[in-house]
Structure 1
Amino acid sequence: MAQSAVAEERAVPRPAPLSIPVRDIVPWAVFAAVLGLVLIYFVGAEQGATSLLSGTWVHEFTHDGRHLLGFPCH
């Protein structure tokens, strides 16, 4: 009886590890990098010398984030 239990354990198939091809990751990595750069721009530079939007609402919305990331704003 003990031999049949050992044989059953050996017969159980193990799932193969998943592999994700690099070509599937690259578009998401580029998207994340562009999104990160846009966020850094809005937190660090918007409402300054290179302002794209008028008003101060972007500055007020990202004010605490600027100080948290070390960007001086005033």
Structure 2
Amino acid sequence: MSAITQPTAFNSGSIDAIPLAQILPWAVFGGIMMLLSIYFVGVEEGAMAITSSNYVHEYVHDARHLLGFPCH
């Protein structure tokens, strides 16, 4: 028969801090993505926009009303 051993306790130790130089590019990227998504959901109406058609407006139409942006 085999012996059953007790698992050893997990020693988490200390958590190392992440330097600002490593976080900053990801924070900037996340901020740009957030602003871009707010633009497409809240402002993009299709008339004078990045895209020449009304596809983005129709795609995010329900999300626009859910977030309280006026649409028409």
Superposed displacement of residue 47, structure 1: 2.3
Query: 8 Å contact 1:43–1:66 — kept in the other structure?
Result: yes
Tell me, which stretches of 5 or more residues in structure 1 are unaligned? 1-12
Does structure 2 conserve the Cα–Cα contact (< 8 Å) formed by 1:47 and 1:54? Answer: no
Provide runs of 4+ in structure 1 moved above 2 Å. 47-50
* 2:45 maps to 1:39: no
SS at match of 1:29: helix
Q: Give the TM-score, by structure 1 length.
A: 0.72
The reply to whether residue 50 of structure 1 matches residue 48 of structure 2 is yes
The answer for the alignment partner of 2:61 in structure 1 is 63
Q: How many residue pairs get matched?
A: 62
Question: Based on CA coordinates, which of the two structures has the bigger radius of gyration?
Answer: 1
Which amino acid in structure 2 is aligned with residue 47 of structure 1?
A: E
Letter of the 2:37 counterpart: L
Q: Which residue of 1 aligns with 2:19?
A: 21
Q: 1:14 to 1:52 in 2, by over 3 A?
A: closer
Q: Identity of paired residues, percent?
A: 52
